Each structure stands twice: as C-alpha cells, then as structure tokens.
Structure 1
Amino acid sequence: MSLSHSPAADAATPAAPVAPAASADARPSGGLVVQYGEVRDIPLNRLKASPKNARRVGHSAEVIAARAASITHKGVLQPLVVEPEIKDGRETGYYLVSAGEGRRQALRLLAKRKALAKGAAVRCVVDTTNDPAEVSMDENLSREPMHPADQFEAFKDLAERKGYGAEEIAARFGVKPDIVRQRLRLGAVAPALLDLYREEALTLEQVTAFAVNPDPERQMQVYAQLCAQGRQPYAIRRAMTEMKVAADDRRVRFLGFEAYVAAGGAVLRDLFTPDNEGWVEDVALLDRLVGEKLAALAEAVRDREGWKWASAHLEFPHGHGCARIWEHLLPRGAEDIATLEALDAEARELIDQWADVDPLPPEVEARLTAIEDAREAIGDGYGFDADEKARAGVLVVLAPYGEARIDRGFVRPEDQPAPEPDDAAEVGADDADGLASGEGEGEEGEADAPWDGDDEADGGDEAGAEPAGDPAAPLPERVVADLTAHRTAALRDALAQDPDLAQLALVHALVSRVFGMGGAASCLDIRWGSRELGVYAEGIAESPAALAIAERHRQWARQTPTQPEDFWDFVIGLDGDSRASLLAHCVSLTLDGLRAWERRPVPVLAHVETLATALALDMRAYWRPTGRRYLDRVTKAQVLAAVADAVSPDAAARLSGLRKAEMVEAAEPLLVEAGWLPSVLRTARPEGEAAEDAAPRTEAIDEVEALAADEAGEAPALDPETMADDFDPGPGDEAEVAAMLAEAAA
C-alpha cells in the first residue's frame, strides 16, 4: 500500500500544475513525458467512484480500515488519478477516481469518524489524456507487492530502530497486533533462511516452522540436520521443539501453565498454530513441580481420611505387591439415619403433592434439589472403617488427561493380618502334605496296606484283649477320606440336578476368588485366573475398556463382604439380575484372547472369535491407530497398506516417498478419521449380515504397488525387498505378512 504526507500539508502548499498533453498521439517533441495531467488539490466531497474502474470486486472493510489507519499516521503518499465528470458536454465540478478508489474510501471513512473534514483537500492528478480504464488496470496490475521476507525484516527494523511495540506498529499499519507479532517472529528467523525463502528454496510454511523457536542458531542446526526430503513443516516444528513438553501434555494440564511460569519456568510460544499455548522448556522443573503437587495431594488425602500411608506416582506402579481391600457399606449413626428418613419423607410428600403439575414450580424444584444435595452430603454409606485405614494406604497417580486418580485400600505385605488359626484345617492340610510327600510310608518307602479293620488300636495289651478306645477321638484320616469321597459324589449328583443352585454356587466360588483376601471360600474346584495384560500392552490400564472394567470392579467390590465366610449369604441375597451381572463380571475377567509367543490351541483362539462375533464387538470404540499404539511399531509397507485400505491407493502412493517418521505423522489423522482397524482387531459378522467395510491388507498393497508403477515419476514404487528388510513382525503375524510380501513381489 502506497501512503504519503498528510492532505493538510498538501492543501497548505499547492503544487505547480503540469501541462497535460493534448492526446495520446500528440507526444511532446522533447521526449518522454513523466506524468500526464495537472496536479490539483480537490475537496474530498468532490471525488466520486469511476464507472470505468477495472476492479469490480471492491476492497473489503478490513482493507479500507487498514488504509485509514495508515493515512492517519502518514497521510496519503500517492496522489489519486482522476478525470472530470462530464454530463451534457459540460463538467459538473466533480471528479471520477480512475486510480486510488481504496484511498478515497479510506478518506471517506476518516471523515465519517470526524477525523477529517468532508471537504478536506486531496492531492490528485487530473489526467484527461490516458484511457481511465487502462489507468485503473495499471493501478492494479503493474505494481508488485513487497516480498514477505522483506516485510518481515521491515517490521523487525521498526521494532528495533524506533522501539515500536506490536500494538504501535499495528495501529500505524491498520493490522491486528497478533499479525504484527507473527511478522516480528518471522523477521527474527536466521537471515540465511530468509534468503533461501527469497530464492524459493524454502516455502513460507517451512519458514514458519523454523520460527516456532526464535533461536537462530538452533534454526540453522535443524536446517543442517534435516535433509531436503525431510524438511516438511511438521518435521521442522518437531525438531525445533524436541526436548520440550507440549501444552497438551498431561503433566502441564495437571500443574497448569500459570504455576509453571510462576516458578520461573520458560515457555516457548507458538504464534502460528491456533489454540496452542506452546511448549514447556524446563522439563526438569516441570517434573519436580508435578511430583511435589502429587505428593502434597497424597499427603492431604492421607491426613484428611486417616490412612496409614499414601504415595504419589506419575505412572501406576504395576507390581506393587500390595493386597487390595475395597470400600463397603458402613453402619450409619442414628443422627444420619434420622436425617435421611426425614429428607426422604419430605421428598415423597412434595412429589405426591405436585404429581399432576408439569413443570414443577421453581420453589418446589429448588427444594427437591436441596434435598438431593443434602443426601449427597451425608454420603451413600460406603467407605472404609478405621481399622482398615490403619493398615492400608492410598496411591495417587497422574492419569492420561491431566487429572489425579486416587486409588484407596492397598495393603502392604507386612501390614496384612495373619490368618486366624483353624486346628481342623491345619491338621487336614498337614496330613494332605504328608500323603503327597510320602510321609507315613514304611522304612523301605512302601505305602501301608489298606486298612482291613483288623488292626489293633494303639495301646493293645499282649493278651490280645481289645481296648475300648476313646469315643471322642477323631476318626482315622483314611476313614474320613473314604466317607467324604462318597459324600462328594452324592453332592455332585444332587448339584447336577439343581441348575439354579449350581449357578449360585459358581457365582459364590468366583466371587470368593475375585474379591476375597483370605483365600478361597468355596468347595468348588474352580480355577479362576486373569492374565495381566499390562505386560503385553503398555498403558492399557488407561484404555477405555480397562477404565470401564476397573469402575465396574470397584462398584462390585464396595458391596462384597470383607470376610470369606460371609460371601455365601451375600450371593444368596442378590436378585437374579444382580447375580447374573456379577457372574458376567467375574467370568469376563478370565477371558484370555491374547496371541503372544506361546502356542495356544487352535480351538481356544477360534472360541475368541466366536465370542467376539456373538458380542458384535466393534474395536473402533476402544482403539485408535495412532503412532504410539500401532504405526510406530510396524513397517512402512504396513503403514502404506493401512492407508490404502482405509482411504485410497492414491493416498497411500502420495505417502510412499516419505521417511518413516513423516509417513506416520501424515498417516495417523487419516487412519483415525477413517476408523481403520488391523485385521487382527476386526470382528467377523454373523452369516446374513453385511461384512465389515475393510479389504484384506494384501489387496491394499497390490493396489498401491500397481498405482505407483503406473505413475512412475510422481510417486516411487513400493519395493518388496525394502518391505522385507523393514519387516519386523509381531507375534503371530509371520505367515500373514510373508504372504503379503510375496503377493507384492509378484
């Protein structure tokens, strides 16, 4: 934009007129004429828009406002070009603006704001020689805008030489201060990089990525480190901010930027990405502050609730070795019971009284809300008693989204209560151990012969008289075993004929295994186990499925008894639906669909698929194909195959020339948006239903390979040998990917 001295100065000092040429064909004999027309100061209210103006799409309101701001500080630097308005062969006294309509509108805006008189003098060139339409075209076509790099350095010069801040510069040029800050940051980019931008060796997006970090030395280091193919804007930005923590990191969310800055932490701001607060530069300080805040929270929970201990952790300490007790229903005090009964009675009375009114009067609605708040203040009655808190502790863990998760009721091994002695159980256990180890055998190691009833009791006399013995003495162990074997057989037969009781016994057995701390409390030999999945999938404890399971487990655990002998009465007391839900929860924890290094029977793995189909499992609700979860851990060929499968072969071909890190960064949003799943996570549909929209990975690779071959020169072809070299198969994938590579090679 060309701007000049003020109009007031122009009016005070009239310029000498320049004699116009008579016509375009009548050129002066002296040579080239610099300017056609007479320079005059014309009142603003005598200037009109020209119908011959070549620009049909007018200037935006923002552009006019920016020019008005510039004229306010520097005046009009370039005179307007006008022609007299002619009507009926006579001049009307008005002038039509051939060049400078934007400046005329900016002056009119200033006059409307009372910053300028409506008749203020405006320096104009009255050109009656040139074609006004051609003049208008030249005004818009002949000028070349300033190169952006020159703009950036000019803004930087104003800031450094005159000390102007972003707000002052913005006011003088009619732009937003944020735009000025961005240009100042771009002006601070290493001069060598700006020169490369002028030479078109770098794009504006690349320069913007370098400007994220204002350190010119670091910018040149990153430029030297990244090869030409790797200088994508996202790769540059990642390299410029490595060793820094982004604003959306869970530690920053938990602590807060304000607390970090208040502690003296440096922040790298990103002026070019919307809704991005920047990066934390002092990671050690961040970790220390987060650790201190977590530790303070843990201590506050311990002191407030009365636990024996509390510890804070950035990650959940798997393998902590602690037992777990769960909250349970505590006896209420008489005062709380009376308060709750009064609140319930009042709520019922209000509901009955206003049952036919909808909506409820505001005062009734407010009172019902207050009653509910009062109930919540008293609590639901679940918790831990003082003895439990005296031997248990709390884990405070930083969760994935920046909130602190408090897990209560962990008992360290040294704090676990010793089991109460049970003489009968101890004797039985000792005898069982003795039989298993061969104790009680003869000196030669041979087992005693079965008892035939003729053995004499200890203490028989030599005369052969049979001693009467003690009627209260316990039966011999072998007799007990014989009798209980018969009884067990009878119980099995009877239980098989009572399905309802069998289900109840199964639920009891599982519940005592899952929630009991004192060992099994069931005579059913149900071998319950639950494989620890965290060993195979890092961070799975924070996945949507694991969090839902944990919450479900917590809700059941708070209802189950604390003593094993009470489990039977608890299970009997449940209604049918609750018992079925509890059974489903316990059974679900035993499900093991893992395919790892061990060889599992084919029928077992087939049953996993059968259950998935029966449940209509859709893993898109539980899993996303992010870099961390999948793309970083597979080969480039598998990433391309996924993109071809989820989006299109053309999209995969466009990514095939990228390096692995760049390919992953570009592919991740495409796959997440498409809801793509690897074949191992897809669920087969029952017969008669439409198959899931997913093509085999081998077909996708063939399509990408064919497209790359057809468009050689635009996208490099996929090389089967490179695919094989990059291949790092996961457990159980060897045969599948080997076939895939063979097809691509063919």
Structure 2
Amino acid sequence: MTTNAKTETTTQSGTEIFVPLNKLKKSPRNARKTPHSEAHIEALAGSIGAKGMLQNLVIEPEANADGEATGFYLVTIGEGRRLAQLLRVKRKEIRKTENIRCVLDTENDPQEISLDENVTREAMSVPDQVERFRELSERKGWGAEEIAARFGVSAHVVRQRLRLGAVSPKLMQVYRDGDLTLDQLMAFAITEDHARQEQVYESLSYNREPWIIRRDLTKTNIEATDRRAIFVGPEAYAEAGGTIIRDLFTEDQGGFYEDPALLDRLVIERLEGIADEVRQTEGWKWTSVHIDFPHAHGMRRAYPHAVELSEEDTAAAEAAQAQYDALTEQYDSAEELPDDVDQRFGELEAEIERIDALHHAYDADEIARGGVFVVLNHDGTARIDRGFIRAEDQKPEPEDAEDGCTEVEGHRVSADGEIIEDGESGEEGNHVSALDAEDDDAGDDGKPLSDLLIRDLTARRTLGLRLVLGEQPDMALIAVTHALAVQTFYRGVDASCLGIRSTSSTLASHADGIEDTAAAKALTDRHEGWAADMTRDVADLWGFIAGLDHASVMALLAHCASLTVNAVKQPAERKPYAQQTADSLATAVTLDMTAHWLPTVRTYLGRVTKAHILAAVREAVGDEAADRMAGMKKEAMAQAAEQLLAGTGWLPSLLRTTQPAWLRKQPETAPIPDGMPGTEEESFPVAAE
C-alpha cells in the first residue's frame, strides 16, 4: 500500500509513502558518521536522473521534546540519495517539494537498520561488472560517459571495466578462482592479444608483480617516450596504420607503439624529407639520413666561417633589434602579453636568429663538394650536421708536378719533409754537403743558407724564445691555446712551434651509444660554436687568439684541453697516477654525474651481479628493501632495483666525486653553497637514506 505523508497518522510501519523532499531530514541516529564524498553524491544524482530512484528511503517521523509529530521525517536509510536529490534541486532538475517514495519504519531500531544497510551487503564482482558494461556497450551502443551517468560511476572507471573485457576468458576465470589479483588482471589488459596474454601468464614465476606482467607483454613494443616515437608522433603513426597500446590502469606516458619496423620506416621517411629540403635550399652535393649518427664515417669536416653581412641584412638586423628592444621596454612590467604582441615577439626573434645565422657561411666550393648527415637526435628532434667531405671529393694537396716537392718559405721540401738544396735532384750521387756549402765562397748571392747553419741559428732562436716566453705568462697562455687550437680545429696541419701534442680518444668503442647522449650533443654544439669562429687560414689563427679578451682565451683553452681528457680504465693499462689525477680533476671541477647518468638495467643493473644490485639498493634505499628483493631472479631484481633507485641520486663508486677539501673542512654551522649537497660524507652526490 502506498499513501501520502498527510495521511501518515493512520499508516502502519512498513507502508510505502510519498514525502516532499523538503520535509526530509538527516537522522541523528544514522550509523554513517563520515559524510559522503562529493563525487559519490554526484554519481548518485546522475544515476537517479537517468533511471529514477530505484531504492526507497527508510524514514521515521520526527517528534519534538513532548513527543508530538513535527511533520518532518528523519532518513534512517538513504541519506546519500536524499543529498543527491537536493543536488538535483540545486541544478533545477526537480522542485524542492518533489515527492520522494519512502518506507515508513517505526518498529526497528534506526541505528541497527542503518548499520545493517551499510555492512550487510556485497558489491558486484569486477568480472560481472565487466560483462554487464560490455553488454550495454555492444547491445545498446552506449559510450563510457552514458554508462557512467546511468550507474553513478566515473567514465574513467567504465573505460577501465570495458578495457578489462579485452582480457582472455581463461585469465578472467583464473581471477574468479582467486589466483590473480585485480591489479594483475589489469596489467594483462594492456594488450588485446589473448594468446600473448596466456603465454606471458604461463611463463610467470612466483613473482607476479603487475609491472613485470606489463614489461613482458610490451617487451617487443616501443615506448611512447622513445626518441623515434617522439619524432614521428602518435597521429602520423596511427595514420600509417600503426597501433598504440594504452594502459588505462597506470600512467603509461602515451602508451606503447606495437610496430617497431613501421616506426623506423616513418622516421627514415621524415628524415629524408628534411634532407631533401636542406639539399635543395642549400645546394650540398649529397645528404645521408640515419637513425643513429654514423660516427665511423672517416670524413674530413669543414666548418662555416665568419662573413660580413650585406648592407641590407645589417639594416634589417638593426631594425628588428630596435623593435624588439622597444617592445621589451613597453611590456616589461606586464604580467601577460596580448596575443598579437606575443606573436610579434616571436616574429622578431625568428628574424634576429635568421640574420644572426648569416654571420657564418660555408664556402661555395665546400658546399659543392661536401654533404650533410641528417640523423635522429637523442631528444626526438632532427639533427642536421653539415660540411662533411668524402675522400674522393678532397682537394689534392699542391705539389711540384715534376718531382713531388712543395715550396715552403722559399725552400723546396721533399715528400718526406727534407729540405732539398738547389742543384739537388734527390737522386743518390747528386748531393751537395752542408759543409761544402758553408766553405763555398764563390759568392753566389742567390744561394740559400745551408741546412746546418739553418738548424744552428734556429736552435739559438728557440733557446731565446724559451727563456723569454717563460717570463711572460700571458703570452704563454696564448701560445699554449694556439698550439691546442691548431690541433683541435686544423687536423693534419703542423702550425705550432710548441711541442705540445693534443690527443683526443674516441669514447664510442668503450661505451655503446655514448656519442648520442645529451652530454655528447652539448659538447658537439660547443665545439661547433668555436669551429665557426676559427679563421679560415691557420696562418691567421695567432692573430685571432691574441685579439681575444682574457675570458675568451681561457674559454677556448678550456674547450681544447677538455677534449684531451681520458679517464677510461682499461684492463691492460697500469696508470695509477693518471687515474689519481682524474679523481683530482673531478674534485676540482665538482663533477656531478647524476646530471649525466642514471642507474638503469641497461646502464648498470643488468650488467652486474645480484650482490652488486643488492648492495646498491641497500645503500640507497635501506636494508629492508634489499632483503625483500634477495630471493628474486637476476632480471626481475634488476628491474625492481631500477625503480627503487630512481630519484635517489645513487652512483657506483667509479662515478662518485670526492668533495673538495675546502668543503669538508667547513664548520657544521657554515652555509652550504648553492648546488652542493649538504652532507658530511666524503663523496657527493650521496645515496638517499
């Protein structure tokens, strides 16, 4: 029997009645004291709006202190639904006097039935939810948002449940049987390949961590954070027919690309497009594209040289800079730039950069003979390296057509570097001795000095230079910088009178992929910047360096010296003092390898023993974490350690830098300089405690 609240005085307990919403109150005897969340009320309001209120409220009449009815009712069961209806009033979906179907209960203890309502119930199992949501999606064509609105859950939860429908029925039954957790089941949903899911499940050991399941399922895929995926982009990959696996249950950072071969092809095609544009606009003889830079190319490289700007470009540069400065001054205090002003700033910056690039250019002859490598950079951008000249395109060295000799400072020099006097043919039996030349007083004014005398005089001059140079440190700095710069930027040219020899060892043979890292790119950019400033003719290099300010000379010296550093330890080498010097250098420059290296499976953890892995975790994270991993297999242990060590700043001993003595000797109360770890340990950075 259903009745209206106005006739309640004759209504028995258990009767269904309709009560205006504004006559319903929260019961003080409701067992739930923790308020409902806003999200839950939102979900209930959506569900009631779509299907109506499927479950009645349970109420009791409110009485005053004298036991008289007030005309209001206390909601014993269904406070969340009452609040949801009030939310619908606020949204003007219903009136505040809307009649709400309730069940009157004046016999049971309100606190007991309220507790019973909240405790004695069981939520639908996940597999059942999956099947029902999937059925609604397929049978009625409802999307995640519509299903979510009708069932009081978020659209994200619905998408997750629908995604679980991609799990193999066999594995779903394993979950029903209690042999898989929900987190493990969700890990399998990263792919829709049932055979692959079942294969990974069968190969799992006792360690069934969700991350291990995801790792094994995506082992042949490419992460969206890979430089190839970043370069191509998800849209172009999808348009080419590629599939991206997305994990709705974790932060997948863009998912996984299923087809590595397709991704590589798209990378090459896009690089070829960039290479064609460079060749057509700049006129290079050839271009070559690669995903990884071909470091063993063996080619000589030419660099651009400084050129004078035309009057037109100079005027354009001055005008653009003037406009930029004026806008900067005008909007210096503005918190946010108007769109048109922001756009104008971008245009002016692009124009200034374009004209600035014109300050350096390649010779037309170098462009006609040289080529360009277009490769994929470490950060997913295209890298364009110009000026490489193949051996067959090199200019032949100038030489005497008859006897292979060259002219150097008025003397004819043979191919092996010997000075050949006039009258010498280089053939045996036709030599004129230096002593004969000195004793010859025939008075031939055009005859050159003898080799013996030349060596005598220049030896004395060398002694004088040594003495004087040692008394002039500033000039010695220029001389040393010149000697290193000659060998750094003019390969094959012996143009320094100092016996300093610069050797730069290639690191690629010691560490795979090292030349494609961010640190290597930064070093290359610095080198190319200096190379562009070098004089075209090595004979002019001394004047260029002597004309630099002191800071620039020091910067050039530092760059040239840095390229000669070799701290590589090789098994057959015994250079304890060299390694000690490398340690001292690292301390002096406060080298922080955490900026350039992370302990990952590829870089370290997969290449050392389990004992080393546990020692690293123990030092960086603690004994408890290490003890939990002790029973793992090597591969799983390395993967787990990578996650634990992330962000700790842990480094193996070979990469640690000893703190400078001045820092170790500071009193405990002394402030630590910015950028230095605040620790009393002997090395930095120190593993997290």
Structure 1 residues 191-200 or 625-634, which shifts more?
191-200
Structure 2 residue aligned with 1:164: 142
Question: Cα offset for 1:662?
Answer: 2.5
Distance 1:431 1:157 in 2: 88
What is residue 645 of structure 2 aligned with on the other side? 671
For 1:40, what is the secondary structure of its paired residue? Answer: strand
Would the alpha carbon gap of residues 409 and 18 (structure 1) be closer, same or farther in structure 2, given more than 3 Å must change?
farther
Say whether 1:195 aligns with 2:169.
no
Q: Does 1:68 align with 2:45?
A: yes
CA distance in 2, matches of 1:43, 1:301: 77
Tell me how far apart the structure 2 counterparts of residues 345 and 264 of structure 1 sit (CA, whole Å): 50
Q: 1:610-621 maps to which residues of 2 (within 5 A)? A: 610-621=584-595
Distance 1:310 1:138 in 2: 78
CA gap of 1:113–1:683, structure 2 versus 1, over 3 A, is closer
Change (3 A) 1:153 1:449: same
One of 244, 264, 277 as aligned partner of 1:287: 264
Q: Could you tell me which of 353, 374, 397 is aligned with 1:396?
A: 374
Contact 2:285 2:368 (8 Å CA) reproduced: yes
Q: Is 1:641 paired with 2:619?
A: no
2:372 alignment partner, SS class? strand
1:209-233 Cα deviation digits (max 9, x unpaired): 001112222211110111222x210
Determine the structure 2 residue equivalent to 1:423. Answer: 407
- Provide the C-alpha distance between the structure 1 equivalents of 2:596 and 2:246, rounded to a whole number of angstroms: 34
Contact 2:50 2:150 in 1 (8 A): yes
CA distance in 2, matches of 1:455, 1:119: 128
| Structure 1 residue 413, shift from structure 2 partner | 1.4
Correspondence for 2:668: none
Q: CA deviation at 1:540?
A: 1.9
Runs of 5+ in structure 1 lacking a partner?
A: 1-8, 21-35, 458-466, 705-746
Residues 513 and 165 of structure 1: CA distance in aligned 2, closer, same or farther (over 3 Å): same
Alignment partner of 2:495 out of 514, 521, 525: 521
Tell me if the contact between 2:437 and 2:450 (Cα under 8 Å) persists in the aligned partners.
no
The CA distance in 1 between the partners of 2:82 and 2:428, in whole Å, is 121
Corresponding residue number in structure 2 for 1:382 = 360
Is contact 1:267-1:279 (8 Å) kept? yes
* TM-score, scaled to structure 1: 0.78
Aligned to 2:254: 277
**Matched residue count:** 650
Q: Output the CA distance in 2 between the equivalents of 1:374 and 1:223.
A: 58
Q: Which 10-residue stretch deviates more, 467-476 or 80-89?
A: 467-476
The answer on 1:208 being equivalent to 2:186 is yes
| In 2: Cα distance, 1:547 partner to 1:93 partner | 80
- The question of whether the paired residues in 2 share the 8 Å contact of 1:679 and 1:696 is answered with no
Q: Considering only CA atoms, is the larger Rg found in Structure 1 or Structure 2?
A: 1
Q: CA deviation at 1:316?
A: 0.9
Q: 2:513 maps to what in 1? A: 539
| Residues 1:47 and 2:31 are matched in the alignment | no
Report if aligned partners of 2:614, 2:626 keep a CA contact under 8 Å in 1: yes
Residue 531 and residue 651 in structure 1: after superposition, are their counterparts in 2 closer, same or farther (change >3 A)?
same
- Structure 1: how far apart are the matches of 2:265 and 2:10? 76
Among 278, 291, 301, the alignment partner of 1:314 is 291
Q: Is 1:260–2:246 an aligned residue pair? A: no
Measure, in 2, the Cα distance between the counterparts of 1:69 and 1:345. Answer: 59
Superposed CA deviations along residues 221-272 of structure 1, whole A, max 9, x for unmatched, are 110111222x210110111222211211111111111111112222222222
Q: Distance in 2 between matches of 1:595 and 1:18?
A: 97
Contact 1:11–1:121, Cα closer than 8 Å, also in 2: no
The one-letter amino acid of 1:155's match is F
Structure 1 residue 317: Cα displacement: 0.7
Cα distance between partner residues in 2 of 1:599 and 1:155: 68
Take 1:127 and 1:346, find their aligned partners in 2: how far apart are those partners? 81
Question: Matches of 1:346 and 1:101 in 2, distance apart?
Answer: 66
Matched with 1:662 is 636
User: Which letter does structure 1 place at the counterpart of 2:159?
Assistant: R
Deviation at 1:474, TM superposition (A): 4.0
Deviations 1:258-312 (A, max 9, x none): 1111122222222222363222222222111110000110111121122222211
Q: Which moved more, 1:317-326 or 1:89-98?
A: 89-98
Superposition RMSD on alpha carbons, in Å? 3.8
Q: Distance in 2 between matches of 1:276 and 1:332?
A: 46
Instruction: Tell me whether 1:549 sits opposite 2:532 in the alignment.
Output: no
Summarize the Cα distance change of 1:345–1:313 in structure 2 as closer, same or farther, 3 Å threshold: closer
1:411-450 pair list within 5 angstroms = 411-421=389-399, 422-424=406-408, 427-430=412-415
Bigger drift between 81-90 and 495-504 goes to 495-504
* 1:682 paired residue number: 656
Cα distance change, pair 54–412 in 1 and its aligned pair in 2 (3 A): same
Identify the range of structure 1 (301-310 vs 202-211) with the bigger mean alpha-carbon deviation.
301-310
Contact 1:10/1:122 (8 A) holds in 2? no
TM-score, with structure 2 as normaliser:
0.84
Aligned to 2:274: 297
Distance 1:53 1:431, change over 3 A: closer
CA gap 1:234/1:141 in 2 versus in 1, 3 angstroms: same
Is the CA contact (8 Å cut-off) linking 2:2 and 2:16 kept in structure 1?
no
**What is the one-letter code of the residue matched to 1:559?**
D
Which residue in the other structure is 1:582 paired with? 556
Please say if 1:251 is aligned against 2:228.
yes
1:147 aligns with 2:132: no
Q: Aligned with 2:657: secondary structure?
A: coil
1:179 equivalent in alignment to 2:157: yes
In structure 2, distance between residues paired with 1:441 and 1:481? 23
Q: Which of the numbers 221, 225, 233 marks the counterpart of 2:203? A: 225
Range that drifts further, 119-128 or 336-345:
336-345
- In the alignment, which residue of structure 2 is the partner of 1:81? 58
Q: Following the alignment from structure 2 to structure 1, what is the Cα–Cα distance between the partners of residues 271 and 310?
A: 34
Task: Report the alpha carbon displacement of residue 430 of structure 1 after superposing the two structures with TM.
Answer: 4.4
CA distance in 1 between partners of 2:437 and 2:61 (Å): 144
Deviation, 1:94, is 3.0
The correspondence for 1:500, drawn from 466, 469, 474, is: 474
| C-alpha distance in 2 between matches for 1:150 and 1:536 | 56
CA contact (8 A) 2:26 2:74 kept: yes
Quote the offset at 1:517 in angstroms.
Answer: 4.4
The superposition leaves residues 187-223 of structure 1 with CA deviations (integer Å, 9 ceiling, x where unpaired) of: 3322232232233321111111001112222211110
The alignment-based identity, stated in percent, is: 46
Match runs of 1:596-635 below 5 Å? 596-635=570-609
Alignment of 1:556-575 (within 5 A): 556-575=530-549
Q: Distance in 2 between matches of 1:597 and 1:545?
A: 26
Which amino acid is the alignment partner of residue 87 of structure 2?
A: L
Stretches of structure 2 that go unaligned for 5 or more consecutive residues are 400-405, 666-676
Deviations 1:43-88 (A, max 9, x none): 4443332111111122222222222322333333333222222232
Residue 137 of structure 2 is aligned to residue 137 of structure 1: no
| Structure 1 counterpart of 2:672 | none
Partner of 1:535: helix, strand, or coil? Answer: coil
Q: What is the rounded CA distance, in whole Å, between the counterparts of 1:338 and 1:159 in structure 2?
A: 66
Distance in 2 separating the partners of 1:632 and 1:335: 59
Partner of 1:689, secondary structure, is: helix
Residue 721 of structure 1 is matched in structure 2 by none
Distance in 2 between residues matched to 1:248 and 1:106, nearest whole Å: 43
